[in-house]
Amino acid sequence: MSPQQAQPADSLQRLELIISHLLRIGVLIAGTFLLVGWLMSWYTQGDMLSTFQTYESQSIIESIHWALVMNNKGLIISYFGLLILVSLPVLRVFMTGFLFIRQKEYTLAFMAYGVFFALLLSVLLGIEI
């Protein structure tokens, strides 16, 4: 293998390693936000089990608005951690498309970006305003 062939392969492996580290760090950050938010909610509200005794259907926008009005920092922090956690697979699909472009696999890149836009569309259509 010539040095010119080894260099793009090393570059792609480094990019895959960066993506892997980014996802791992993202999960740890999201988990930390979720844990801190839950602990803050438990500390400020006391008995958390009584919160789950009644169920009311509520959109995410209403829930976030209510948390802001009530100054429920624990819930806001938890939602931020959840946002990070949900965005990680979407980010992975986007970065995979970029990786396919670098490998000159344009058909696979087109498919990856098709999946990316389908994920974005499903998230946007799933939000009740």
CA 77 – CA 5 distance, rounded (Å): 47
pLDDT tens-digit map of 23-41: 999 999 999 999 999 898 8
Number of domains the chain is built from: 1
Domain of 87 in residue numbering reads as: 3-126
Which CB contacts under 8 angstroms, 24+ apart, belong to 54-57? none
Residue showing tokens 């209510």: 66
pLDDT tens-digit map of 66-101: 888 988 888 899 999 999 998 999 999 999 998 899
- DSSP letter string, 46-74: S-SGGGGSS-----HHHHHHHHHHTT-HH
Confidence at 15, pLDDT banded by 50, 70, 90: confident
